[in-house]
Amino acid sequence: MSQLLAVLIDGLNYSSWLFIIAVGLTLIYGVMKILNIAHGSLYALGAYTAASLAGSWLNQGHSPMGSYAVLLVAAVLVGVLAGPLIERGLLRFMYGKDEIVLVLVTYAVFLILEDFIKLLWGVDPYLLYQPYGLLGSFDVGNLTYPVYNLALIAVAIAVGVTLTWVLARTRQGKILIAVIHDREMAAAQGINVSLVYFVTFTVGAMLGALGGALTAPMISVQPGIGAETIVLAFAVVVIGGLGSLPGAALAAVLVGLVRSAAVHYRPELDLFSIYLVMAIVLIVRPKGLFSAQEARKI
Partner 1 sequence: MRSNRCLLLSVQAVVCIAAVLLAAVASAQDKPIRVGLVTFLSGPAAGPFGVPAKIAAEAIVDSLNAGKVPAPYNIKGFSGTSIELVVVDEAGGATKQVTELRNLVERQNVDFVIGYISSGDCLAVAPVAEELKKITVLFDCGTPRVFEEASYKYVFRTRSHATMDAVAGATYLLENRPALKAYGGINQNYAWGQDSWADFTAVMTALKPEAAITTSQMPKFGAGQYGPEISVLLQSNSDLIHSSLWGGDLEAFMLQAMPRGLFSRSQLLLVAGEPYLHRLAGNVPDGTIVGARGPNGVFAPKSALNDWLRAIYKERTEVNPNYPAYSVALAFLGLKAAYEKARLAAIQAAVPMGAAKDVKEQMEKAYGRPPDEEIIKAFEYLTFDSPAGKVMMKLGKGHQAVTGTAYGTTRTANGQVTIGNIKYYSLERVQPPEGVKSLDWIKGGMKPGKW
Partner 2 sequence: MNTRRDRSLSILALALVGLLLAGPFLPRWTMFLITVSLCYGIVVLGMMLLMRTGVVSFGHGLYYCLGAYAAGTLEPFFGISEIAIMLACAVAVTGLTSAVLALLLRKYRDIFFAMLSLAFSMILYGLLVKTSALGSSDGFNVSARTFLGFTIAGAPYERYVVFAITVISAYGAAVLMQLYLRSHRGRLAGAIRDNELRVEYMGASVANTIHVNYVFSAVLAGLGGALAGISVGHIDPEMAYWTTSGEFVFVAILSGTGSVLAPFLGAMIFETIRSFAYEYSPNTWQMALGVTMLLVIMFLPGGLWSLFGKLRRT
Exactly one of 92, 97, 118, 181 binds partner 1 (CB under 8 A); that residue is 118
Do the beta carbons of residue 7 and residue 260 sit within 8 Å?
yes
Our finding on whether 107 is near partner 2 (CB under 8 A) is yes
- Judged by CB under 8 A, how many residues of this single chain contact partner 2? 42
Exactly one of 120, 188, 271, 292 binds partner 2 (CB under 8 A); that residue is 271
Our finding on whether 278 is near partner 1 (CB under 8 A) is no
Torsion of CA 101, 104, 106, 109, to 10 degrees: -130
Interaction partner, residue 58 (partner 2, partner 1, none; CB < 5-8 Å by kind): none
Our finding on whether 138 is near partner 2 (CB under 8 A) is no
Interaction partner, residue 119 (partner 1, partner 2, none; CB < 5-8 Å by kind): partner 2
Our finding on whether 10 is near partner 1 (CB under 8 A) is yes
Our finding on whether 59 is near partner 1 (CB under 8 A) is no
Do the beta carbons of residue 290 and residue 48 sit within 8 Å?
no
Exactly one of 21, 25, 180, 235 binds partner 2 (CB under 8 A); that residue is 235
Our finding on whether 60 is near partner 1 (CB under 8 A) is no
Q: How far is the CB of 267 from partner 2 (least distance, A)?
A: 11
- Report d(CA 227, CA 41) in Å as an integer: 8
Contacts of residue 66, Cβ cutoff 8 Å, sequence gap at least 6: 57
Task: List the interface residues with partner 1, window 248-277 (CB under 8 A).
Answer: 259-260, 263-264, 267-268, 270-271
Binding footprint of partner 1 on the chain (CB under 8 A) = 2-3, 6-7, 9-11, 13-14, 17, 114-115, 118, 122-125, 127, 129, 132-133, 137, 142-146, 149, 215, 217-225, 228-229, 259-260, 263-264, 267-268, 270-271
Binding footprint of partner 2 on the chain (CB under 8 A) = 35, 90, 93-94, 97, 99-101, 103-105, 107-112, 114-116, 118-119, 227, 231, 234-235, 238, 242, 268, 271-272, 275-276, 278-279, 282-283, 286-288, 297-298
